Structure 1
Amino acid sequence: MDSMRNKNIRIIGIPENVEKENGAESVLNEIIEENFPNLGIDGEMCVEEGFRSTRFVNVKRPAARHIVVKLAKRKDKERILREVRNKKKRITYKGAPIRLSANFSTETLQARRGWSDIFKALKDKNFQPRILYPARISFRYEGEISSFPDKQKLGEFVTKSPPLQEILKKVLIPEKRKKGERGHSPQTRETNG
């Protein structure tokens, strides 16, 4: 599913109906002109199509639907997202803060969000964490970059390193408890409760 989206950029935070005037494609060009004037792809970037994503109803957080822009070249998408990561200040559209991100499937986004607590703990301790495609975490530890496809592999690595275990114990232990609770059969829960 993500391979079909590999040229797409998701624009988050643009008010509804802004694209009605010039099209969703022009919104990306305006963002690039406003935030990255030296990027050098304004004339050569080819946008194939742009559209509003389908609405996901969340009563607690009503928000505008995201704009998805499909570029002709994956290289353009990577250049834009690299600039977004390197930019220290907020990305804006007509002065209002927005976000640009890769357009992943729901499953990939959910898997990537699963690393958020661990990512934050590592970032707070300056381990330079990164979420790699599709949903792997990597970080620098003792001068080397370590990468893990899932929390189980990370947990095995952490048990061999007491300092790292201390840093991640609060975010890894709840995962183990959740898994342990799910592993009980209904009969076990009844006898314990």
Structure 2
Amino acid sequence: MSKKESETKKSSRTLSAKVANMATTANTDDFAMMLSTEMEKQHEHFKEDMSALITTSLAPIQASLANFHEMVDTLEQRVTAVETTVGANFDALFKAEKAISELQTLNAALADRIDDLENRSRRVNLRIINVPEDSEPKGDMVAFVSALLKDNMGNLFTSPPELERAHQALVQKPKNGQSPRAIIVAFLRFRDRERVLHWARQNEVVFQGHTLRFYPDLSAQLSKKRAGFKKVKAALYQKGIQFRLLYPARLRVTYGGETLMFDTPADAETFYSQKVEGTRDSPAASEHED
């Protein structure tokens, strides 16, 4: 029990005692007046006691509220600081994403330009496939390939064509039973390279019982792009439809009296499925590549 509550009860007992004492010592009117006066005094005391009691009881709550307000103010400051930081980070992130996008675009453009330059530097090259391993004299690949072209391409050359260089593909030497390495040939004259490629498209080149194949020498990236047309090329070939894979990677198709150009395998396959598939096969067409 609190001190104020004890004092209040004590005051009530004192009042009761006074009232009993006045009732025995005074007449009725005096008693009523005295009782009224005493009641007023006790009422004032009661008000003071209640006020003190309420003040005492509210003090911890007020202190808690003050702490709560302080915490709220602190949180508001922290939220404001976080919002400011987030806003700054968002702006920085937006700028970074924009810069990354621009760099990616630039990188793609530069990669395409480098690949184009690489392929242009290979324009005088051919890849000869299926030449048996160890067919050439040791250390004289250029003379070997030059003589091979003259001796196995009819009357195309009256003398061995001039080559700048020739070497086997830089991969591990195959084991017995595996396909031989390709031979990469750089012609001194682009015209000679074109004559060889054109002749090989129209004729079969046989060396030591092996049929040789001739292809342009391309970068890995461009070879992958051109390989994407392999499926539709096979389908067109079976239908006897004339086509040609142009440099760098475009498919030209002659169909129904029209010449159509396709820049992507997907476009060519869509054309085939919508216009060609289901038609009767014709004699197989020849395949040409630039």
TM above 0.5, yes or no, is yes
- 1:71-102 per-residue CA deviation (whole Å, 9 max, x = no partner) reads 11111100000000011xx3122332222221
Does 1:119 find its partner at 2:233? yes
Counterpart code for 1:139: V
The structural deviation recorded for 1:154 is 3.1
**Residue ranges of structure 2 left out of the alignment (5+ in a row):** 1-117, 280-290
> Given the superposition, is the C-alpha separation of residues 11 and 144 from structure 1 closer, same or farther in structure 2, using an over 3 Å criterion?
same
**Residue ranges of structure 1 left out of the alignment (5+ in a row):** 168-193
Counterpart code for 2:143: S
Counterpart selection for 2:242 from 123, 128, 137: 128
The structural deviation recorded for 1:10 is 1.0
Identity of aligned residues (%): 25
Q: Secondary structure at the match of 2:242?
A: coil
Query: 1:34–1:93: 8 Å Cα contact kept in structure 2?
Result: no
The structural deviation recorded for 1:105 is 1.2
Query: 2:131–2:207: 8 Å Cα contact kept in structure 1?
Result: yes
Q: What is the aligned partner in structure 1 of residue 66 from structure 2?
A: none
> Given the superposition, is the C-alpha separation of residues 166 and 77 from structure 1 closer, same or farther in structure 2, using an over 3 Å criterion?
same
Does 1:18 find its partner at 2:130? no
CA RMSD of aligned residues (A): 2.6
Query: 2:150–2:157: 8 Å Cα contact kept in structure 1?
Result: no
> Given the superposition, is the C-alpha separation of residues 58 and 67 from structure 1 closer, same or farther in structure 2, using an over 3 Å criterion?
closer
Counterpart selection for 2:254 from 125, 130, 140: 140
Counterpart code for 2:130: G
Specify which structure has the bigger relative contact order, considering alpha-carbon pairs within 8 angstroms and separated by 6 or more residues: 1
Q: Secondary structure at the match of 1:129?
A: strand
Q: What is the aligned partner in structure 2 of residue 189 from structure 1?
A: none
> Given the superposition, is the C-alpha separation of residues 16 and 155 from structure 1 closer, same or farther in structure 2, using an over 3 Å criterion?
closer
Q: What is the aligned partner in structure 1 of residue 275 from structure 2?
A: 163
Q: How many residues align?
A: 161
**Where does 1:13-162 land on structure 2 (aligned, <5 Å)?**
13-21=130-138, 23-40=140-157, 42-43=159-160, 45-55=161-171, 62-87=178-203, 90-154=204-268, 158=271, 162=274
Q: Distance in 1 between matches of 2:121 and 2:228?
A: 23
Give the structure with the higher percent strand.
1
Query: Mean Cα displacement is larger for which, 144-153 or 3-12?
Result: 144-153
> Given the superposition, is the C-alpha separation of residues 41 and 110 from structure 1 closer, same or farther in structure 2, using an over 3 Å criterion?
farther
> Given the superposition, is the C-alpha separation of residues 37 and 155 from structure 1 closer, same or farther in structure 2, using an over 3 Å criterion?
closer
**TM-score, normalised relative to structure 2:** 0.50
Query: 1:24–1:69: 8 Å Cα contact kept in structure 2?
Result: no
Q: Secondary structure at the match of 1:11?
A: strand
> Given the superposition, is the C-alpha separation of residues 31 and 58 from structure 1 closer, same or farther in structure 2, using an over 3 Å criterion?
closer
Q: Distance in 1 between matches of 2:265 and 2:239?
A: 19
Give the structure with the higher percent helix.
2
Query: 2:187–2:193: 8 Å Cα contact kept in structure 1?
Result: yes
Query: 1:12–1:66: 8 Å Cα contact kept in structure 2?
Result: yes
